[in-house]
Chains A and B, each alone.
Chain A
Amino acid sequence: MTDTTSDGPMLAADGTPLKKSLARALRLQKMRALMLIAPLLIFVLVSFIIPIVSMLMRSVENDIVVETLPLTVAELQSWDADSGELPDEPVYAAFVGDMVVAIDAKRHTRLGTRLNYEQTGMSSLFRKSGRKIKRMDPAADAPFKDKLIDVDKKWGDVETWRVIKTHSPRVTNGYFLNAVDMRRTPEGAQSQPEDKRILVKLFVRTLIMSLIITGSCILLGYPVAWILANLPMRTANILMILVLLPFWTSLLVRTSAWKVMLQQQGVINEFLVWLGMVADDSRLVMINNQTGTIIAMTHILLPFMILPMYSVMQTIQPTYLRAAKSMGATNWTAFWRVYFPLSIPGIGAGSILVFILAIGYYITPEIVGGTKGVFISNRIAYHISSSLNWGLAAALGTILLVVVLILYWAYDKIVGIDNVKLG
């Protein structure tokens, strides 16, 4: 490298070795880049990533039992849940002691609600017993075993104690088991009773409907992308507006438009009745069911399919098709063997994007989906805001997020996250 300047390393103007100088310059450049990135990175990490991770941690957190009933949980350790016999007096005494403290702090109903997710009836048991246990004195009124069974005969049921013991650890897989329609029992994981199994069905429905939506987006998007890529620039740009306008229009506007169109007294039904295609008394039911969700979401997500497909198809030379045809290929062969394989990256990019967006959708299913057309997101929202079963919501959210992240990773591998194009 330094053949001409006899000996020693090459020097920069200020006398330091060039390599060192270069390394310093690079380090400075790196530092400067990181300084520019840092504010945003910290902002996103603190206000987005960490909140989500800590929310997801709720799916395994289970402090409430051990914090509300610390003595009872300690006593229950020595009780054999499989023996079929009731726990001994110390457990009952500890329980009354814990409950008196909890009732003072008004925490016993929260525990009841928590255990009610696992065993129905626990909530009312804790509420009712709470009123009577309040009057007991943990020091003077011993022994408690019979008194408690007098208060409510469920305290004389081995099952009640088994539930408390099963759900006493601080970290639980119970919510995840619930999320896949199973439950944590003393005998290990078991499936829920038939009438409570709705979540797996909901997951499957979300998946299937997202696939249908993705499929119909491919079917509708491919011809449009093709024609946009093959028309002269000027015409294509005008037609592009028809794709971009829905893309830029508020989601709620489009959803309300579909509500207006699909109703039984809506525009489509009125039009069909006017044409005589549909009898007045047998109007099509297109809203508050899966059809409504699929139609509206296909429309809403279609631009996300067309735009990536279009940007890939733009790069395919039309001469390839002509070359294939000149060598004797039929139209179909030329398309299927030459054009289609070249357009697959576009289909892949669009499909993953649409699928990721579809699987987590909330607003549109909520408005046009009724009860049959809702997604897993709607269930999560229900558990967060109505039933307040945050652990289950977090578990459902974790499963959903894992699916999405796998797809995101695949998208990154196939398309590269830098190559996402908007508009």
Chain B
Amino acid sequence: MAALTPISRKPMSLVLPTVAAAGGLLGLFVGTANDSGFLGIVIGAAIVTALAALYIFALKNEQMSKWISILIFLALGFFVGGIPAAILGALAGWFFHWFTYWMYEGRYRQRLLPYLTPSQVLWHYGFRVICGAIFVFLITPILVVIPLSFNSQDFFTYTPEMLRFDPAGYSLKHYQDFFTNNEWQRSFKNSLIIAPIATVISVSLGTLAAIGLSQSHVPGRRAIMAIMISPMIVPLIISATGMFFFYSSIGNWMEGTLGLSKNFVGYVKVVLAHAVLGIPFVIITVTATLVGFDRSLTRAAANMGANPVTTFFRVQMPLILPGVISGGLFAFITSFDEVVVVLFVGSASQKTLPWQMFTGLREQISPTILAVATILVVISIALLTTVELLRRRSERLRGMSPG
């Protein structure tokens, strides 16, 4: 890809119409917002073309022209729609300046193979625009909730104050509600109790089983694997109903025969149910790590007199630890994010954060949900970073170049 293609200035017959089309597109949006799409196209195309011609024929100074176009569009934006539009305008100004020079100097060819035809070049960039749109689709919903959670109104949409960047439009009151409201606090605490315990159970059992499965000559390996993966495959609603009947009878038995308190039994039920759901993730990640594990290391350890337990903790465990931890994180997030099963198995005193969000979304829709959502997004970013770092470490350990 690094092949440097010699670039040359492009004729005006290509540059100006392209730039005009881009300007027209922007003009269309501004125009429709002001009730005249057609006029918008014409004006937008005209302004952008005029500026492009000005830079190319008269100014001939790239730095200066950049500031000129940013300022002009900023002023235009402010004139049309106040501060938010001015900011968008400044961005548009920067873009059009860059775009004009990108086209005019032929920079768009720089990173491409020299023999590509114009239509191939067009497809190359068109394809990137399509992909960009899909990435926007992927990430927008997550980004949209973050500013909304600072809304000072109880609305689920951007208020005019927020768009004007008026400090009065923003507040932390939804966060305050989350941290002071008993319902939310209790459910948050429940999630923090249930998820780690469930994770510990699924990680310890799952790692052992994955090590067992990775030995050669395990009879019925496929069948065992299928059974262990099944909690991930079976639709949650079916797992939930099955567990509902099972754990209600187990719960009655524990309360009646063992005389345990109702609250404690409730937690045990939810923790066990969540542990089962987390197991497939542990199995999958740990087995994947074990594929790259050099078996002669355990033999070498045994050869030097270590017993199996020592071998496991001193040799095998440190090497597969990244896989175990990322499996654990998957199990944690599964439990932390789980609604259906806890809805069926748990009782009101085991209400978890997702459960509270679910009822919040279905019944009394409150903007505190957005604050919670933002906090959860931050948590998931932290988890994602951890997993990514672990993956790289694991690849380094196995002698692969980190990807």
Contacts and interface: CB of A to CB of B under 8 A. Distances in A.
Interface of A: 26, 29-30, 32-37, 39-41, 43-45, 47-56, 220, 223-224, 227, 232-233, 237, 239, 241-246, 248-261, 263, 265-267, 270, 274-277, 299, 302-303, 331, 356, 359-363, 366-367, 377, 380-381, 384-385, 393-394, 397, 400-401, 404-405, 408, 412, 417-418, 420-423
B60 interface: no
Contacts of A394: 241
Given A232-B1, A260-B157, A47 B276 contact: yes
Contact of B231 (A44, A251, A265): A44
Interface in B291-327: 326
A36 B212 contact: yes
B50 interface: no
B33 A33 contact: no
Contact of A52 (B144, B216, B234, B326): B234
Given A48-B230, A257-B144, A275-B33, A401 B235 contact: yes
B383 interface: yes
Given A256-B369, A261-B144, A404-B233, 20 more contacts: A40-B279, A44-B227, A48-B276, A52-B234, A52-B239, A220-B134, A224-B134, A243-B138, A244-B388, A246-B139, A246-B142, A248-B384, A251-B337, A251-B339, A260-B370, A267-B158, A299-B138, A363-B358, A367-B362, A397-B238
B399 to A, nearest CB: 17
B361 interface: yes
Interface string B344-378: 10000000001001100110000001100100110
18 contacts: A44-B230, A52-B234, A54-B242, A223-B130, A224-B135, A232-B1, A239-B135, A242-B135, A246-B141, A250-B333, A250-B380, A253-B373, A254-B142, A258-B141, A263-B156, A412-B222, A417-B222, A421-B284
A48 B230 CA distance: 9
B33 A417 contact: no
A263 B365 CA distance: 13
B279 to A, nearest CB: 7
Interface stretch (B9-17, B96-104, B120-128): B120-128
A421 B288 contact: yes
Contacts of B244: 55, 384
B212 A34 contact: yes
Nearest to A58: B245
A367 B142 CA distance: 17
A249 B144 contact: no
A384 B218 contact: no
B219 A30 contact: yes
Contacts of A232: 1
Contacts of B227: 41, 44-45, 49
Contacts of B235: 359-362, 377, 400-401, 404
A227 B206 CA distance: 35
Contacts, number: 279
B276 A43 contact: yes
A244 B384 contact: yes
A30 B218 contact: yes
Given A37-B209, A47-B273, A404-B233, A362 B340 contact: yes
A237 to B, nearest CB: 7
Contacts of B326: 423
A355 B373 CA distance: 27
Contacts of B216: 29
Contact of B361 (A39, A223, A249, A259): A259
B205 A39 contact: yes
B142 A52 contact: no
Contacts of B215: 29-30, 32-33
Contacts of B242: 48, 51-56
Nearest to B372: A253
A242 B139 contact: yes
A55 B403 CA distance: 46
A397 B237 contact: yes
B225 interface: yes
A156 to B, nearest CB: 39
B181 interface: no
A404 B232 CA distance: 11
A363 B339 contact: yes
Contacts of A52: 234, 238-239, 242
Contacts of A363: 339-340, 358
Nearest to B36: A276
Contacts of A421: 284, 288
A250 B337 contact: yes
A253 B145 contact: yes
Nearest to B202: A40
B156 A265 contact: yes
A241 B377 CA distance: 13
Nearest to A296: B141
B380 A249 contact: yes
A242 B142 CA distance: 10
Nearest to A228: B131
Contacts of B239: 48, 52
Contact of A380 (B144, B238, B391): B238
Contact of A423 (B142, B362, B387): B387
B59 interface: no
Contacts of B19: none
B209 A41 contact: yes
B246 interface: yes
A267 B142 CA distance: 13
B134 A261 contact: no
A224 B128 CA distance: 9
Interface in B1-46: 1, 29, 31-35, 37
A276 B241 contact: no
B236 interface: yes
Interface in B110-158: 120, 123, 127-128, 130-131, 134-135, 137-142, 144-145, 148, 155-158
A384 B144 contact: no
Among A40, A255, A259: residue with most chain B CB under 10 A: A40
B144 A260 contact: yes
A421 B387 CA distance: 14
A400 B238 contact: yes
B380 A384 contact: no
Contacts of A220: 134, 137
Contacts of A26: 217
B403 A237 contact: yes
Contacts of A360: 234-238
Nearest to A262: B141
